[in-house]
C-alpha cells in the first residue's frame, strides 16, 4: 500500500510523467476525471490560439523592419520558446485520453527535452529582456555600448547554448517506464541511483524501483525549479525593482509632450513587466504543488489532483497569452499583426502554386503586408500631427 501511494504521488509531482492521477483511480475521484476533461479543453484552446499567435509575432518581427528593435530580438526568442512548449499539447491530450504513453521512448526523450528546453529558454529570455530594460531605463549612458544588435544576437546565441546544455541531463534521463499494470507506460525523468540494485526478491525490487522514482522526482524538481524559476526570477525582480524606482522618480518627465522617446521606453518597460508578472503568477502554483508533494506536506487527494491540473493549465495559458500581451501593449505589434492578418486573409483565397510562381506569390504577400502596415502608420502619424 505504501508503494502504491508513493507511486500516485509520483504521478502528481513529476512533470515528465504527464499523468495527473492513476487511470485506475478515476472512479474514486470522479471530480478529478471531470477536471481532466476540462484541462484537455484548455490545452486544446491554448494550442489553437497560442501557436498561430506566436507564429504571427515571429513573422511580424521578421517581415517588418521597424520591428527589429533590441527588445524585440529577445521577444522573438521568447516566442520561439513559447511555440516549442505549446507544440507538445497534442501529446498531453492523447496521453490523458488513452491513459498511457503510446509514442515510444524516442518521442518521450524528444518531448521532455523540448519541454525542459522551452522552460529554461523562457526564463532566460525574460531575464535578458529585463536586463535590457534595466540598461535602457537605469543606465542610459552604458546602454549605448551594450544595447546593440550585435550584442543582442550574441546574447541570444549564448542563451540558447546555455539552455541546451541545461537540457542535456533531461535528455539522458528521460525514458518510458512501466506503470501500475502491464498495459500502462509512463514517460518521465528517471535518474540513476547509487549503489546499483542489490534486490533479491520481487518485493525488494519494487521498493528499490520506487526509491529510484522518488529520488528522480525530487532531483528533477530541484534542478528545474532552480534553473527555470528561482534563480532567474531573483535577478529579474532585482532589475525591475530598480526600473520601477527610476521610472517613478522620472514620472513627470516621461509624460512630457515632447518626450516621445521616453514614453516609448516607458511603454516597452511596462510590456516587459507584464511579461514578468504573467510568468511569475502562472508558474507559482505549479512550483508550490511540486514542493508540497516533495516535502510530503499534502496527502494524495482529489483536491491535489485538481490543483495540479489547474497549475499545468496555467503554464500553457501563459505561453498562449504572451502574444496578446505584445499586441495589447505595443502599437507596432498591433499594427503589423493586423497587416499580416489582412494579407493572409486575401492570400489564402488564391490557389497556391509551387516553384517560381509560388515564391513570387510569397513575395507579393509580404509586400502586401508591409504596404498595409505602412498605410496604417502614415495615417496614425497624420492624425497625431493634427492633434498636436
Asked if residue 94 belongs to a domain, the reply is: yes
In eight-state DSSP terms, residue 186 is E
Query: Is residue 295 a part of any domain in this protein?
Result: yes
Q: Which domain holds residue 24?
A: 2-329
- 358 assigned to some structural domain: no
CATH number at residue 130: 1.20.1070.10
The three grid cell numbers given for residue 39, joined into one nine-digit string: 484541462
To which H or E segment does residue 344 belong?
Answer: helix 331-347
Q: What is the pLDDT of residue 244?
A: 87
Q: 216, 145, 226, 204: which is closest to 174 by C-alpha?
A: 216
Closest to 44 (Cα-Cα) out of 102, 100, 94, 117: 94
* pLDDT on residue 53: 93
Q: What is the mean pLDDT of residues 179-198?
A: 66
For residues 350-366, average pLDDT: 50
pLDDT in the model for residue 211: 66
Cα separation, 226 vs 353, in Å, equals 49
- The whole-chain average pLDDT of the chain stands at 77
Per-residue pLDDT at 16 exceeds 50: no
The mean pLDDT of 299-322, rounded to a whole number, is: 90
Say how far apart CA 58 and CA 79 lie, in whole Å. Answer: 7
pLDDT on residue 332: 79
Structurally, how many domains does the chain consist of? 1
State pLDDT tens for residues 237-269.
999 999 888 887 776 665 554 455 556 667 778
The angle formed by the CA atoms of residues 209, 215 and 221, to the nearest 5 degrees, is 135
Indicate whether 381 belongs to any domain: no
Q: pLDDT by residue (tens digit) across 195-238?
A: 455 555 655 556 666 666 666 677 878 888 998 899 999 999 99
Report if residue 334 sits inside a domain.
no
Residue 283 has pLDDT above 90, yes or no: yes
Amino acid at each position: 500500500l505504501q508503494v502504491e501511494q508513493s507511486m500516485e504521488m509520483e504521478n502528481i509531482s513529476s512533470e515528465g510523467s504527464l499523468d495527473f492521477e492513476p487511470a485506475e483511480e478515476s472512479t474514486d475521484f470522479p471530480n478529478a476525471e471531470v477536471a481532466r476533461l476540462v484541462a484537455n479543453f484548455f490545452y486544446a484552446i491554448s494550442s489553437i490560439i497560442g501557436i498561430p499567435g506566436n507564429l504571427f509575432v515571429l513573422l511580424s518581427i521578421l517581415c517588418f523592419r521597424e520591428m527589429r528593435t533590441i527588445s524585440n530580438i529577445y521577444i522573438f526568442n521568447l516566442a520561439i520558446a513559447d511555440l516549442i512548449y505549446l507544440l507538445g499539447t497534442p501529446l498531453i491530450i492523447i496521453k490523458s485520453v488513452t491513459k498511457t504513453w503510446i509514442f515510444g521512448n524516442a518521442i518521450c526523450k524528444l518531448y521532455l527535452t523540448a519541454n525542459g528546453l522551452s522552460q529554461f529558454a523562457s526564463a532566460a529570455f525574460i531575464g535578458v529582456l529585463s536586463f535590457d530594460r534595466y540598461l535602457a531605463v537605469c543606465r542610459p549612458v552604458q546602454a549605448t555600448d551594450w544595447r546593440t544588435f550585435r550584442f543582442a544576437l550574441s546574447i541570444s546565441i549564448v542563451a540558447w547554448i546555455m539552455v541546451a546544455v541545461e537540457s542535456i541531463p533531461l535528455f539522458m534521463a528521460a525514458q518510458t517506464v512501466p506503470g501500475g499494470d502491464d498495459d500502462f507506460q509512463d514517460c518521465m525523468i528517471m535518474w540513476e541511483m547509487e549503489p546499483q540494485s542489490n534486490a533479491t526478491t520481487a518485493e525488494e525490487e519494487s521498493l528499490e524501483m520506487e526509491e529510484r522514482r522518488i529520488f528522480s522526482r525530487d532531483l528533477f524538481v530541484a534542478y528545474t525549479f532552480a534553473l527555470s524559476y528561482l534563480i532567474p526570477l531573483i535577478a529579474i525582480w532585482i532589475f525591475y525593482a530598480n526600473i520601477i524606482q527610476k521610472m517613478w522618480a522620472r514620472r513627470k518627465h516621461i509624460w512630457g509632450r515632447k518626450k516621445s522617446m521616453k514614453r516609448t521606453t516607458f511603454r516597452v518597460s511596462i510590456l516587459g513587466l507584464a511579461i514578468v508578472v504573467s510568468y511569475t503568477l502562472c508558474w507559482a502554483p505549479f512550483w508550490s504543488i511540486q514542493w508540497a508533494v516533495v516535502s510530503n506536506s499534502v496527502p494524495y487527494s482529489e483536491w491535489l489532483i485538481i490543483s495540479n491540473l489547474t497549475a499545468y493549465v496555467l503554464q500553457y495559458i501563459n505561453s498562449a497569452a504572451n502574444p496578446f500581451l505584445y499586441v495589447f501593449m505595443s502599437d507596432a505589434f498591433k499594427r503589423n499583426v493586423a497587416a499580416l492578418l489582412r494579407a493572409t486573409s486575401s492570400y489564402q483565397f488564391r490557389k497556391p502554386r509551387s516553384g517560381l510562381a509560388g515564391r513570387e506569390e510569397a513575395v507579393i504577400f509580404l509586400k502586401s503586408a508591409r504596404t498595409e502596415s505602412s498605410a496604417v502608420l502614415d495615417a496614425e502619424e497624420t492624425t497625431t500631427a493634427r492633434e498636436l
